[in-house]
Structure 1
Amino acid sequence: MAQFMDHGMKDITADQLMQAHQADLAVEREEGVRFEKAWADPSSGTVYCLSAAPSAEAVQRIHARAGHRADEVHPVPLAT
């Protein structure tokens, strides 16, 4: 399965990050997505998520259903 990195949401707190991530996890299987990790930059509040998924569109559909569409979803073609 391919990996994707997405980012979105602004001015988010640690509690909001956890709530958003839990909302993604609650529905991720319905699109064959597995969210592996979520980060937030404390200075900007921007959220970054790493996932394994069949497509970028599947990642975006899960985020949309969870109530927080990603601004961008990028494939991660190479990783170590």
Structure 2
Amino acid sequence: MPLFMDVHSLGDGVTMDDVARAHAADLATQDAHEVSYLRYWVAEGEGQIFCLVEAPNAEAADTVHREAHGLVADHVYAVQEGS
């Protein structure tokens, strides 16, 4: 399955607790779209969120975010995992 990293630029007020709730909503929504949100990172001071997701395509990953909580990513990058 392809791997993607998405980036959200939300500005001030982003907290780990808010992102944890949004991630839980993603997990509850993802199966209907054959998507698996794996991990996320938050840079609270910069208002940035990064999500690692397995999905058939970038559009499927965006659809999960849109349906789960409405916070669609600003950018979605196809990535390959290294060590």
Q: What's the RMSD between the two structures over aligned residues?
A: 1.0
Q: Does 1:39 align with 2:47?
A: no
Question: Structure 1 segments of 4 or more deviating over 4 A?
Answer: none
- Going from structure 1 to structure 2, the CA distance change for 1:9 and 1:65 (only over 3 Å counts) comes to farther
Q: Which moved more, 1:6-15 or 1:27-36?
A: 6-15
Q: Percent identity?
A: 38
Partner of 1:13: 15
Using the size of structure 2 for normalisation, the TM-score is 0.89
CA–CA distance in structure 2, aligned partners of residues 50 and 17 of structure 1: 13
Q: Deviations over 1:10-64 (max 9, x none)?
A: 2311110101101111100110000000110122121000000100000000011
**5+ unaligned residues in a row in structure 2: which ranges?**
none
Q: Aligned pair count?
A: 79
Alignment match, 1:57: 59
**Is the partner of 1:60 in helix, strand or coil?**
helix
Structure 1: any 5+ residue segments left out of the alignment? Answer: none
1:2 match: 2
How far is 1:3 from its partner? 0.1
**How many Å separate the matches in 1 of 2:72 and 2:9?**
8
TM-score, normalised with respect to structure 1: 0.92
Contact 1:6 1:73 in 2 (8 A): yes
Whole-Å separation in 2 of the counterparts to 1:38 and 1:4: 12
